[in-house]
Every structure is written in structure tokens, then in C-alpha cells.
Structure 1
Amino acid sequence: MKRDVHVVIDETLCTGCGACVDICPHDTLTLADGKATVTGDDSLSCGHCLAVCPTHAITLTGYRPMHLGYQTFETPKGWLSPGAFDVGTLVQLMASRRSCRHYTPDPVPMQVLEDLVKIGTTAPSGTNAQLWNFTLLPDRPSVEGFAEGILSFFKKLNRLARIAPLRGLLKVLGKPELSAYYTDYHDRIEEGIASWETLRWDRLFHGAPAAILVSCARDASCPAEDALLASNQILLAAHAMGLGTCLVGFAVEALSNDKNLRNLAQLPADETVYAVIAIGHPDEPYRRPSVRKPITPRVVNIGRVP
């Protein structure tokens, strides 16, 4: 996919050091008459040239610096070089983030949600396409309305799953998904629907006052990876802000199969939602990080000469 060039070079500031030319992954720049020059007609707009320039001679039109423009906090100036941040503190943050299933009724300010979206876009994306998008459900009524749409989908699915001949026929035809759903999820979903309708007990969003839907255009080179990497940035940043989060997988499944729910969320036809994040102020008494299964990575020595 050919993309426009947004690189602008100020010749009065350029010293001709060639650093931008050497680091450009797309051969967009060359040195001419002792100055960096845009000679290619295609660019990833990755900003490597801007980041490496010692004299601030390079800008990218239509783009904003990743570390600027936040409304609820300020970031230190400058770039953290590899090794310049304490890895122990980083791991402590990652290990301390937990899925939150109890929230206070306090709202999440719109400015905070908008900042979390901007933080999400600090994630890498395949070929720097940045074709992700973020849909905000900014208050509890919006979350409840969305939850109603999800439950409507699962009511229909449960009615189908209870038809034993249909499950059997599909299984014979090599489509065992409905049978597996009936075994693994039907009863749990039925309980959740009853809890919502009789007690208003929210087993989907757990009372969260806001949510973020993370989607990506289907023609992106790595749409799922792009959206999920951005989602993880949001999860970690939310914890640092004092907020709790929880990924709602049932919402993603419903959005993948229900056009009415997609219309309710006003999603464009060319986008797929890969993560739905419940978010709010946590009301949980965690005191320490949890645990993970031990893992031994596979070591593969490819091409090693004995």
C-alpha cells in the first residue's frame, strides 16, 4: 500500500549528517548537495528520521508528538534511551494490574478517557498503519445500553443452543461450535441474563461506569495485533492513573456476530473490534501481585553448524 510522504525538512537547520537517511526503513530520504532531501514518493511516516535528527530539522505534517497533548498529566521532556528506565518498576506495574470486577459509582472524566486513547496510540502497529480506532462509552447509561444489546444477542444464541437436533446436525456437518457453546457457556450465560433482568446484577461490565472499544480497520496489515497492543497500553496506563480495568470477551464475541449490536455501537462496516475494556475506579482490596504458571521457553537453534 503506497502512502503519502509527510516528511518536511528545514534546509536551514539540516547539517547533512545523514543520520535520517541511514535510519529510514523505506528509502524515502537521500543526501543531495550536503542536505537531507525527500526523494521517495512513499513513506511509512514512522518518524524515525524526526527522532534521530540532532538539529530538529525534520517534522511530519498531520502528526502529533506521542509524549505531548495530554489533558490530565504532563510527561517529562526528552527520550528514554534503552536502559534508562528501571525495569523492576516496570515489571511491578505490569504484575500489579489486575482484572477489576468491582467498581465505585464514580464517573471517569472524559478527559481521562481521551488521554487513555492517546496512550493507546503509543503502541507499535504493523507497517505503522495506525488504522486502529477507539469508541468511548463515557457513562454508566451508555454502558448499560450496550450491555442490553449484548444480552439480547446471547438470548438468541441460547435459544438456538437449546435445540438438540440443531446441535447434532451441525456437529455432523463438521460445525461443532454450537454444541461446544451449549456445553461450556449456555448455563453460565443463562444465569447472567437472569441476574441482570431480576436483580440488575451486571456480570458483563461489573458496574463499570465507562468502557472503551478498541477496533482496527480490516485492511490493516496486522489488525488484531495492532488493536491488542494498543489495548495493553491502555490497561497499564489506567492502573497508573488509579483506575481498574477488565477485558470483556463476551462483548467482543457478540460484536463479531451481531449486526444490530454493531449498529448500536455505531461501528463502521470495515472495522473489527478486538477488545472491549470496562473501566472505572476500583473497589477491590488487592494487597499483592498474583501468580502465573511457570513456563519454560522453547530454544530453537536454527542453522547452527554442529
Structure 2
Amino acid sequence: MPAPERVPSRSLTATELVTFLAEGRLTVRGRIRGASNAVLYCTVAHEGEEVTCVYKPVAGERPLWDFPDGTLAQREVAAYEISEATGWGLIPPTVLRDGPYGEGMCQLWIETAAEDNGPDGPDADGRPPLLALVEDEEPGEGWKAVAFAETEEGGRALLVHADDPRLRRLAVLDAVINNGDRKGGHLLPASDGRLYGIDHGVTFNADDKLRTLLWGWAGEPLTAEAVEVVDRLGAALAPGTALVTRLAELITAAEIAALRGRVEALRVSGKHPEPSGEWPSIPWPPV
């Protein structure tokens, strides 16, 4: 039997990739170290073709005090569904499926443009970094301030992120899904210029859990594009819609109600949310 042909993800639509990931033969190739939960690097073969992916089995999830056990994989899929509903495509195609270690989340692997540099270094095409630490008291042109941080030498530096429309879309998505863990390492600049967010297991809590490095637009008006997306999401989350039916398979009714509430709050305020002060606003470690 000939080996499957490796296909670049850009040759398939998101819908085709979802089918590919859900129905293909999943083979574990290795484990990604450093993650708090089990993260496996895999290939998935389907109809003579093959793509690479990440598989996170539910059995490998570490219990959390503020999220029900065994629900992180479903939350990752729910985040993908919301991302697709925005039309922005900010999260790689993601499915819930059975695998070698039981049910888990399976997500397309994204080849980044900055394998060696990370989000705080220029990508292969020389684009500026997404995050940086600067010694100035104010961010320079093209940057947004997040918070002051203590350096290893005991000094103080200002953490900034790029004033980048791709990041701004992610900031809106995070506010909608109540992302409790938007770290720098969860930002993947792809070689085609797109930016993806990954690791959305701690999302959709009914309580405010928003923790992110993307606070630079806090309190500022949403862009016209974001206002349109928020309005569209509000309609898509009306009771009985296809999106709500799908989300009901993944998160609780109370969490869906809270999701509607966050979207409505964005619609009414027309602004990016600000830290509540009742919960740490920046994840740890931040990268």
C-alpha cells in the first residue's frame, strides 16, 4: 500500500479539513513536551492523503478547580465553532474524535513562520514581533501597552504587543469565549501571513475568567468590522440556531447563556472589555 501523500493545509477548505480530521486514520508520532496536559503530535490519513495534527486525549487532561473534569477538549472545539461563526478563521480546524488514547481534541498542525523566534521575534518574512519588553515608560509607535513587568535583573520593563489587526481580532474572540489563558506561546503566525490562536481549553466559564496579554485596546471602541461580527454572533446565538445546537453538545446551558451575555455586553458597550479587578488579568507564565 503506497504511503499517503502529505497535503498542505491551504489546499483544503476548513470544511474539508474538519472532515479529514474527524474521519481519517490517526497515528501518534510523538509527544509535545512542556504542556500541562497530554499533547500528542500526530498524522491523520484520509483517502490517500495525510496532514499533521495535534491530538489531546481527554484522559490526559489535568483536573482544574474551576472547570469540570474532562471538558477541556469540548471547549477547544466550541472555541473553533465560535471562531468560524465570526468569519475570521482565527483557530485551526478542530474536531472531537476517538483516537488511540480515547476521545480527545484533534486540531490541524500549523507550520509557523517563526519556528525559531516565537511570538517575540521577527518571522521568516521579516515581519515585526507580536510581543516585546521595552525599557520606556510608554509604548512606541505601532505598539500597545499591556503592563509593567520585573526583569530577571531586578529592573522594570513594559510589556507591549503589536498594534496589529490580527491580534485585535483575537482580543475580540477572547472576550467572547472568555479565554482564561491567552499566552504569547498560544499565538501562531503562519507562513502565509495569517495569525492563529491555539490552546482554548479554559474557555466558556460562566464566571469572568478573561486573562490575556492582549489588553492593549482595553476600553477603546471596537472597530467597525468587530461591531458587525458581534452583531452577527448575537443573531447566530439565538435559541434554536444551528450554532447553539452544536454548542449544546460541547458546553453547558449556563455557559451558553453566559456566552450570549458577553456578546450582548460587547454589542451594547461597543468597546473592548477592561480587566475586572476581581481576577488576575494576565496569565502566568505569560509566554
Which has the higher Rg, Structure 1 or Structure 2?
A: 1
Which one has the bigger strand percentage? 2
Same-fold status (TM-score > 0.5): no
Which one has the bigger helix percentage? 1
Q: What is the TM-score normalised by the length of structure 2?
A: 0.26
Higher relative contact order (CA 8 A, sep 6+): 1
Q: What is the TM-score normalised by the length of structure 1?
A: 0.25
